[in-house]
């Protein structure tokens, strides 16, 4: 668990670089990051959400994240107790605002205007 936590944390840190974002996308790193959003360890989920937040800055990656099924686990993280995961999740711009508001309402979250 410690190795996984540190590896995802390192990937989160490295994903702030534009070239690394392209490498993650080209080498099919987005689906494993999405899968890690459902990990039992909060630190892993938070780092995966942070890495996806960084990767979502690239337009080509945004659709892969959205279409890869990231929205449901991100919604759960947004409603969860881990503050790091909430912050990273809230900064992902994957959905139009009205869809994001509906997803938040479905998860019992009040969407701030």
pLDDT digits (tens, 9 = 90+) for 26-60: 999 999 999 999 998 888 988 999 899 899 989 89
Predicted confidence (pLDDT) at residue 85 exceeds the cutoff of 70: no
For 22-36, 54-68, 97-111, which range has the lowest pLDDT when averaged over its residues? Answer: 97-111
Cα 40 to Cα 38: distance, rounded to the nearest angstrom: 7
Q: Residue 19 phi/psi, 5° resolution?
A: -70, -40
Q: Which residues contact 43 (CB under 8 A, 6 or more apart)?
A: 5, 8, 9, 84
**Whole-number pLDDT of residue 23:** 96
pLDDT of 84 reads 61
DSSP 8-class letter at 40: S
Sketch out the chain's domains with CATH numbers: 2-106 (1.25.10.10)
How many whole angstroms separate alpha carbon 99 and alpha carbon 77?
A: 17
The position carrying tokens 């890869």 is 68
- pLDDT at 2 exceeding the cut of 80: yes
Average pLDDT (61-89) is: 76
Predicted pLDDT at 110: 55
Average pLDDT over residues 60-69: 91
């Amino acid at each position: 668990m410690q190795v996984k936590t540190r590896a995802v944390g390192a990937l989160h840190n490295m994903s702030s670089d534009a070239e690394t974002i392209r490498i993650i996308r080209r080498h099919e790193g987005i689906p494993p990051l999405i899968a890690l959003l459902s990990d039992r360890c909060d630190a892993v989920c938070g780092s995966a959400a942070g890495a996806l937040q960084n990767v979502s800055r690239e337009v080509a990656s945004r659709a892969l994240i959205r279409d890869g099924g990231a929205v449901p686990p991100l919604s759960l993280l947004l409603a969860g107790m881990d503050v790091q995961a909430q912050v990273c999740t809230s900064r992902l711009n994957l959905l139009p605002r009205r869809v994001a508001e509906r997803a938040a309402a479905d998860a019992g979250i009040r969407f701030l205007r």
